[in-house]
Structures are given as structure tokens and as C-alpha cells.
Amino acid sequence: MGTPSTIAGMHVRLAEPSDAEPIRRIYNVEVVGSTATFDLRPRTVEEQDAWMVEHQGTYPAVVAVDGGTLVGFGSLSTYRDRPSYSTTVENSVYVDEGQRGRGVGRALLEELVRLGTLHGFHSMVARVGGGNAASIALHESCGFEMVGVEREIGRKFNRWLDVAVLQRMLGGEGFGADLG
């Protein structure tokens, strides 16, 4: 299945505890300035620490590091909490605003797909908010297909926002879920 990648000096690896603050910084920029996340208030240090604990093992977080600087992160999360959804995972990718267009997002997403497949997931879903065309294009270039749009599902910056739903089949048979 391969290993984490290195592209033009950038290394993608599993997140470590020391990555918590750079991840929080990148995420909070998106919270206060974009519709990439529907969160409305910046994440606290305590919330970030809890997020780091949640994103170990089966639902990992990965980071892209360039020259010792964390330039982006991604994660896998449960899709829904009901047991029948256990073979589906949702991905998230965030890139430092000064590092976009360099392949950071692609490297992170490819690693998440690799890990999702390695962990036995059957399907990966991306929910892209606010008409983020670059994120939609990134996912489509990595084999995701648009499967729907949730219309005016969220509200941020005094406007209604759609969420595009993209999906990629990974082919895993799951990891012990009773599928009936």
C-alpha cells in the first residue's frame, strides 16, 4: 500500500502531539475567514488536544511538512455514528493559505485515501462547503465523484451555504461491521 510521501522537499506523515498548535492555527484561519469549515468560533487549545486524541489509529490525522514548517493537514473521521455506516469515512484537508497551489492538498488527500484503504474502509466521502471550487477540483482529480449537493444547509457570514458531497469507493470490505 506504500508509505507516506515526500514531494519536492515536502514530507507527509502521521500527525504528532507537537503538531497540535500549527494544526489549530491553520484551522482557525479558516474558521474566521472562510467557508471551508462551518465552525463559527476558533478552536481552543483544549479542543485541539481532544481533536488530536480522536485522530489516532483508525481515524488518523496527517500533516505536510516543508523545511520543518507544517504547511497543511488532513484527517479521517467517522461518517455517521450508526453502526451501518462504519465502513464509510469522511475526509478533511486544510492547507496554509500561503502554501496553496503547490500540491500540498493533493499529497495530503492521496495519503488519506491510502490510509483509508489500508484501514479497510469501503467508501470515502468529502463534504465541501461554501462553493470551494479548488477543493472540489482537488477531490475530483483524486478520483472522487460528485454525488450531490445539500442546498442551503449551513449559514455563515450572513449567507446561506451549500455543501457539495463527493465520494470515492475504496473497495475495502470493512473491518467487522455487521452489514446484515
Q: What is the mean pLDDT of residues 91-103?
A: 95
Tell me if 93 is assigned to some domain: yes
User: What's the whole-number average pLDDT of the chain?
Assistant: 92
Number of domains in the chain: 1
Asked if pLDDT for residue 130 goes beyond 90, the answer is no
Tell me if 113 is assigned to some domain: yes
For 114, how many CA atoms within 13 A lie in the half-sphere containing its CB?
A: 17
Tell me if 176 is assigned to some domain: no
Sign of CA dihedral 37, 157, 101, 169: positive
Tell me if 175 is assigned to some domain: no
Tell me if 64 is assigned to some domain: yes
Tell me if 33 is assigned to some domain: yes
Pairing of β 69-78 and β 88-95: antiparallel
pLDDT of residue 6: 52
Tell me if 43 is assigned to some domain: yes
Asked if pLDDT for residue 177 goes beyond 50, the answer is no
Binning pLDDT at 50, 70 and 90, where does residue 179 land? very low
The CATH number linked to 118 is 3.40.630.30
Tell me if 133 is assigned to some domain: yes
Residue 64: domain span: 6-169
Going through the chain in order, the beta strands assigned E by DSSP cover 6-7, 10-14, 61-66, 69-78, 88-95, 123-129, 145-156, 159-169
